Amino acid sequence: MAFILGSGLGALADQIENAVAISYEKLPGFPVSTVHGHAGELVLGHLQGVPVVCMKGRGHFYEGRGMTIMTDAIRTFKLLG
């Protein structure tokens, strides 16, 4: 299951068990958001026993990368299953 969390929703990612967080800066093609409150991390682990991947923060069209700003992230989710 995948989640894309925006401002104010990061607390959900804090509930992930056995969490591994990876900065977007280390992931080619991931959007590094300039919006305050977006942590810019991909968090993998389990939420109530279910494997999850969670984006803490996301890219925005108005940040200048066009409508495809989230394409690589969604493709990564698909590859993760």
- Angstrom CA distances, 14 to 4, 37, 72, stand at 14, 14, 24
**Total count of residues recorded for the chain:** 81
Q: What DSSP designation does 75 have? A: H
Q: What pTM, to 2 d.p., does this model score?
A: 0.78
Per-residue pLDDT of the chain (81 residues; tens, 9 = 90+): 888 887 777 788 889 999 999 998 898 777 776 666 567 888 999 999 999 999 887 766 666 666 666 777 788 888 887
